Chains A and B, each alone.
Chain A
Amino acid sequence: MAIRSKAVVLRQNNVSTDQIWPGKYVNISDPGEMAAHVLEGADKTLRDRFKTVGRILVTGSSFGCGSSREQAVISLLQAGVKAVVASSVGRIWYRNAINLALPVLICPGAVDKIAEGDEIAVDLEAGTVTLAGGQVLKGQPVGEFVFNIIKSGGIKQLMRQKHAGEEAK
C-alpha cells in the first residue's frame, strides 16, 4: 500500500499541536472548518501548498508533541494530507493519527533528504519511503495491530462493525 505524492517539507523540529491547531480554535469540532487553520502556528503557507504542491508532509522530530487535541490530525486530513513522514512524533498525536487512519511513517533524517515538490512514495507496511531518484529510506514499519486499524480506515469503522446490533440501555 504505497502512497505517492509530492512532498511538502516543513523543516522544523518540535512542531507542537499548539502550532498545528492553535488553542484559540479548540472549541471547533466540525471537521469541515478545520482545513482553514491547519499548521497556522508553524507556517501559514502550508495549507495552500497541500493544494498546489503535494499531499505528503515531511518534517523533523517531535512533530505533534504537546496536547491531545485531535484537531491536530483531523485538520491535516481535511487539508488533503495523505501521509506524514517525520523523524519522530509525539505519542498522543501518533495514536490519534492511527485511530483516524492518517498514515505516519517515522523515518529519522528523511527530512534532510527530501526537497519540496519531490515525488515520493510511502509504504507504511514495509516502513519505507522511496525518493524521486529511486533511493529507498528505511523507517520504522508499523506492527500488524496498528496496520490493521489504518487499513480498516480507522478505529471508528472497526468499532461500528463490532458494536452493530447492540441495543440502547
Chain B
Amino acid sequence: MAMHALHKIMAAKSGQTAVAPGDIVTCAVDVAGINDIYLMVVHAFRAMGGKRVMRPERVAIFMDHNAPSPSVQGAENQKAFREFAARYGIGHVFEINEGICHQLLPEAGLVKPGDIVVITDSHTTTHGAFGAFGTGVGSTDMAVILLEGSLWLRAPEIVNVKLAGKLRPGVMAKDAALFILGKLGTDFANYKAIEFSGAIVRALPAEERMVLCNMAVEMGAKTTYIAPDDTTIAYLRQYSDKPFAIPATDADFVYEKIYEFDLSGLEPQVALPASVDNVKPVKEALGTPIDQVFIGSCTGGKFTDIEAAAKYLRGKKVARGTRLVVTMASKATLGKAIAAGHYQTLLAAGAAITVPGCAACYGGHSGLLGAGERCATTSNRNFPGRMGDESSALYLVSPLTAAATAVAGKLTHPDYE
C-alpha cells in the first residue's frame, strides 16, 4: 500500500513494515522535550513508580516559559527540574538564557528528517518543517516516554494544503497561515496531519516554513510535513553534520483531501479577537487603536521575523501611547540580530527587548495586558485572556504588520501608508 513519509517514519520507529491511517502503533521517540511549566511530568513519573529514565540522552528539559523565572513558584519548579535532570542523567538541559524549545532543537542539531519529536508543548507541529514527525503531548504522556522511551500514536489521515502562486512582497508565511485558518477553520485537520506543498512553500525560507507548521496546530493538526529540500538541508546543516535519510512519500499515495489555494494576490491578514479563525484582510480593520505590539514567540520571534520588523523600523519610532515588546525566539536569534544591527534598530525605535523565551505569548510574564487593552501580536493564539486580563484583545498579525502597527499606533501594514 502506498505510504506517506509520515507513515514511513511511524513504521520505522515502531518496527512495522507498513502503517495506515487509524493504526495505533508504539513508536520510539527520538527527542522527548519537557517545558519548565510542566513539573507535573515529574509527579506523573513518580506516580507511575518510575525508577529510571529510558534513554535519558534523548530527553531535553527547556527552561523556556519562565525565562528567567518571574515568580517563586516558577523558580521552585525549575529547581526541581534541575534536580531531576541531575538524578536521572537527562541529556540536555536548556537554561533560562537559551530560548524557546522549537527554535533550540534545530539550533542544537537535535532534529533531523525522519525523527519523531514529542514535546509537552502543542506547537511541536513546527518540526514538520524539517521533515520530522513532531507532536505535542501532555504531562502524563511525557512521563510514559520517560519510562518506556516510546509512545502510542494513532497514525493520522493526511491532508495536503497546496499553496500555489507567489506571495507579494510584504506578505509573509503568517499571512498565509491566517488565510488558511480563515478559510478552513480551527478543526479541519483535527487528529490529522497537514502536509504543506506548492510553489509558495518551496520558495519560503526555512524559518517561514516553520510558521506554517507551527500554526497548523491551530488548525487542529496532530503533526505536519514539508518535504525536505535544499532549503531544509542547508538550514539544518548550519548547525549539525549528523547524517540523515529523507523519507519520501510514495508517488501513488492518496491524500484524504487536497486543499488548493492560489495566494498570488493575498493581502496582509489579521485574526481578530478572540479566535484564530476570525480572519480578515488587515485593510478591513485598518485604524484599530493598539496599546501594545508584541513581536516574539516560536511563531513570530525568529530571525526572519525580527529582520522583517527591523528593516521597516529603521529610522522610525514607536507611536506615543503604544508600546513595543520584542521577545526573540533564542539566544542565537538575539546574537544574529545584534550582528545584523537589528537589535540596535529596535532599541532606537523604542522597543522593550526582553530575554528570549515564551514570556507574554502564553500569558506568563514580560508584557501582559491590562483590562480592555488591545495588542497586535506575531504569536499564535488570540483566545480570551491568553496574554493577560480576560477583557484584553489580541490581533494576530505578521511581523511586518506588527512593525507598521507599532509606528502608526493603530492596525496597519506598509501597503496602506
Q: In the complex, are the beta carbons of B139 and A70 less than 8 A apart? A: yes
Q: Are B43 and A29 neighbours in the complex by a CB distance under 8 Å?
A: yes
Cβ-defined contact, B74 with A27, below 8 A: yes
Within 8 A of A (CB), among B178-223: 186-187, 190-191, 218, 220, 222
Q: Is residue A23 within 8 Å, beta carbon to beta carbon, of the partner chain?
A: yes
CA of A127 to CA of B187, assembled, Å? 21
Query: What is the interface residue range for chain A against chain B?
Result: 35 or more
Q: Do the beta carbons of A68 and B385 come within 8 Å of each other?
A: no
A36 at the binding interface (Cβ < 8 Å): no
A16–B381 CB distance below 8 A: yes
Which of A69, A88, A154 is the one whose CB lies under 8 Å from B190?
A88
Q: Across the interface, which residues of A come within 8 angstroms of B386, CB to CB?
A: 16, 18, 23
Interface membership of chain B positions 98-118, coded 1 if the CB is closer than 8 angstroms to chain A and 0 otherwise: 000000000000000000000
Stretch with Cβ within 8 A of A (4 or more), from B13-21, B45-53, B232-240, B344-352: B45-53
Nearest Cβ on chain A to B216's Cβ, whole angstroms = 12
Residue from the list A14, A95, A159, A167 in contact with B138, Cβ < 8 A: A95
The CA-CA distance from A156 to B275 in the complex, in Å, is 34
* B141 interface hit (Cβ, 8 Å): yes
Is B187 touching A27 in the complex (CB atoms < 8 A)? Answer: no
Known contacts being A16-B383, A68-B136, A95-B138, is A163 close to B147, with CB within 8 Å? Answer: yes
B24: chain A residues within 8 A (beta carbon): 143, 145
Q: Tell me the smallest distance from the CB of A31 to a CB of chain B, in Å.
A: 9
Asked whether B385 lies within 8 Å of A19 as measured between CB atoms, the reply is yes
CB-CB under 8 A from A145, the residues of chain B are 24, 152
Please determine whether B66 and A73 come into contact, CB atoms closer than 8 angstroms. no
- Contacts A70-B40, A159-B48, A164-B49 given; does A90 touch B220 at CB 8 Å: yes
Q: A113 interface residue, CB < 8 Å from B?
A: no
Question: What number of A-B contacts does a CB cutoff of 8 Å give?
Answer: 143
Chain B residues positioned under 8 Å from A29 (CB to CB): 38-40, 43, 77
Residue among B44, B77, B222 making CB contact with A156, cutoff 8 Å:
B44
A23 to chain B: closest residue by CB: B363
Interface flags, A124-150, vs B, CB<8A=1, else 0:
000000000000000000010100000
Q: Tell me if B186 and A62 are in contact (CB < 8 A).
A: yes
Asked if B37 lies at the interface with its beta carbon under 8 angstroms from chain A, I say yes
Interface residues on B, range: 35 or more
For window 80-98 of A, CB contacts with B under 8 Å fall at 88, 90-93, 95-96
Inter-chain contact B49/A163, CB cutoff 8 Å: yes
Say yes or no: B220 contacts A70, CB within 8 Å.
Answer: no
**Residues of chain B from 27 to 64 with CB closer than 8 A to chain A in the complex:** 37-40, 43-44, 47-52
In the complex, what residues of A have CB within 8 A of residue B190's CB? 62, 88, 90-91
In the complex, whether A152 has a CB less than 8 A from a CB of chain B is: no
Contact B122 A92 (CB under 8 A): yes
Q: Give the residue of B71, B77, B363 whose beta carbon is less than 8 angstroms from that of A22.
A: B363
5 pairs, A vs B, C-beta closer than 8 Å: A18-B383, A24-B363, A27-B71, A65-B218, A91-B190
Question: What 16 new A-B contacts, CB under 8 Å, besides A23-B363, A159-B147?
Answer: A19-B385, A22-B363, A23-B364, A29-B43, A61-B187, A67-B381, A68-B138, A69-B38, A70-B40, A90-B220, A91-B190, A91-B222, A92-B138, A96-B137, A156-B48, A163-B48
Q: Which 9 A-B pairs have the closest CB atoms?
A: A23-B363, A96-B138, A159-B48, A169-B52, A168-B51, A70-B138, A99-B140, A16-B383, A27-B73
Question: B-contacting residues of A (Cβ < 8 Å)?
Answer: 14, 16, 18-19, 22-24, 26-29, 41-42, 61-62, 65-71, 73-74, 88, 90-93, 95-96, 99-100, 143, 145, 154-156, 159-160, 163-164, 166-169
